[in-house]
Structure 1
């Protein structure tokens, strides 16, 4: 090698950190036996575990330090590697491969040790570098010790934060394998050994699909971090099959190679139960407010008539029991008042009386109204709804117009009567209730059952204790008593003073057939009070079809002698009233003959003679 080349190599080595403290003269002497070596791209310089006997300094090019496919780093011009092989004779700890055409100086151990032994300037320079490196290592170790303490302290704080959290914290990797849990998570999962288990196994199918879709969506996106609320409540199924409903958040962190997700879950079972109780109490309050509003216009059951006193006696007999009651009677007779009286006299009077008119609700909605529904059970079902039967639990439900209940729903009602259980619309959950049932109808359920329009078994289940309310026209002086009470009520409500009913007023009220029963009487009394003038009511103008009564009253007052024709008309009208009142029953108990105090054969002859025909 030419002298100028020695100088070039020694100048180069002077820039290499390992030889930076060696004198120029010693480096020139050292360089005499050094020859450059060239390696092609991807050519190994040495491999891991090879015996180390030389070091290398890079003149030009670039190499990678690696172990198989894992790369520790890269070295380029002016850097050296393998220097400890000159001292310790240990195997190579990593592989070195040229990443491009690279020229290096190879320094053998024998040449190096010979100079260390015979060239004091060389050995002093190398020792100086080693001491400097040792001091730097001491400083690095001191900083590492400090950093380790800080890391340990941070880990203690983080562990305290995670382990002390009441919420369940679950960390898992991109393969859904659990890598960390806190005690609350172990309690929720009912398992203390969940590491490396698939987190999705602890959720029902719908919840697992939700979490999987969120994780997969973050993999496709460019964002390396994610922090979002779970859009739906998720159901966790523990190792002991305990199910719980939870809300939570999911977060993503890490790199492309190592991605992790943190799932934080909070059990909301108690909150949902509390919300259900609040909703149930709110619904009950709404119903009770309606009941109170109805009770403010409730005139009670006024009865002096024998048949109505019999109804009151039946109410007293059945009220203390839990027997199912079927109240029958014409529209407007006061079936709901009877139901209220039964509930008020029962042991359930501190619980709600829930009422529903089966004929006033569309057929497609009545099932939901009675039994409730779940969210999404049908179009428009945007939230869970409690049915009337659940609202009436421990109380009483009044099913008015039960004859209008759709035939397809009758088995469900029969099941409640027999088993005390049902399923809401759209749910498979069976709900148990303790409800006393009172049903009412103006229709003949037995005839409906024979014609296939009402289930016969349901009829007999409802008809455990029948109560039939007589029509108002059959209650004699009760009409006047009820009218008097209603006049007082409406007078107070409207702030008017109304004269007491006289004999002529009572005769007008008693002469009318009252096809609408008590409800019609109530409406007419309210109208009479509204249009009254100075406390007087023109009942003749209020009561429909009272011309004959007016004529009789006026003729009685004038004591005019009636003609035979007029007497026949009067007799015909009187018989017609009796027939209508008894529903055209001529003979027998409560028949028209009994009301008129005539033998049935005589009445039949008079009906034929007067040309009276039953309307179709």
Structure 2
């Protein structure tokens, strides 16, 4: 006997159907048993086919079903199709493999031959059949004794329905009410509603909705309804009391024996809290209107040391409530940094409200920030809650803070200092707990000295400054960001694009990217759209003027500087290098390397020129 046959014989001894058959008889059966493999969703038996064999599951799982109705699952050691061993009737159900399944197939012809020739086999099979028959008798006795339990369960169900706080209304296919619970009687203001048309208790719109749901359910292929009502329905009681309700509708039965169940819940009390709902709705609208920063869909890529230092600063400040001022050129991803701070903070379960101070007209920005009362100005037909109130317990991101009108800046200063403000047209002072993150591409220090920005507000905002580097200064990040955006647009536009080649990377690095990541995205989107066979011609798409910037010549080139002016020029040059490197002096990409000076020499110059890092 081969190892496969031995394993199969050992398996058959554990199959319940052959549990009473002797080992020698099973060995005779084993000689003609075949092993078949079925894969996921393969049909093993189809309902209606004439059966000629039974199956025992060696490994895997199958389901027994009739079309979409599942009767259950069978696993290793279980059998199906036994009746095919003694008759040639059609199969009463289908059997399909749920995953890869191996079965032992026992043909009827071989089975019947053993029943005739092998006495031990016959006795064993009959013993199993007799045991099964006795088990059926026991089951019948249990079913008979459980009638009382079923009656008790029915009584409990009635108690559950009658005790429910929600209104439960059952009606038939002719819309006649056949059952209500006490809560429904209260809602309908009627203790004798049976056999009345259920639609009479709804306003026209709600009645039409319920009628259309039932009609669509009767016409659907599966002929079932089990849905939440798509909108609130109005119930009109017998005493003309109107209530608004949400609920579900379900169906059971078929044809004239079809019944429907409405479960309704009164939501008048919830709607009474309209002011709170209005606040949440406005908050949702503000959040939906936020302008997505270019990299908001791609995450922060920070392989470059400069951007890594930005992320380190984010981690340091996120756990505090300190005010943050994010500096950086337009398109560098300042909002993404603000989002990262908010998400890493303890306020991340509260809203992050964004407002672009440069995108809102000066005469409306105060109302947007602080809200207004009805009639506060022409067009203020209703009261409005400002974004500071919407951001309460959360974070507000003031983008392009340098564009905020001067006359509005004292109000912002008051919120930072005291956490309170007065809505436009109101004498009521509102207290808020808001973490402020501001961003700008302006040099606010110079702005404040020129009188274009309040100096005291600048110092209040500049508690924790973060400088986001320009894309051109981020080294290999340019390639990584470009590849990530290419992948995103490739998926979105369903176009396969080849990865960036070394030559492509060189072109991307050579360009100065004055529009930063935003410009990079726009060029890549266009590139993916016009790409042919997965190839992108970057030399055509990247502006030519960027490859070699023209040397500027003007009258200033002829100016002769005094010694004092030369010192000031050197001081400003060193400051620019330090700012660009986030005040990193030595090492790769440090200020000393940019200035081509020894770190010790640069340190001496910093001390001599009285250059101090801002707090």
Determine which structure has more spread, i.e. the larger CA radius of gyration: 1
Could you state the TM-score of these two structures normalised by the residue count of structure 2?
Answer: 0.46
Could you state the TM-score of these two structures normalised by the residue count of structure 1?
Answer: 0.46
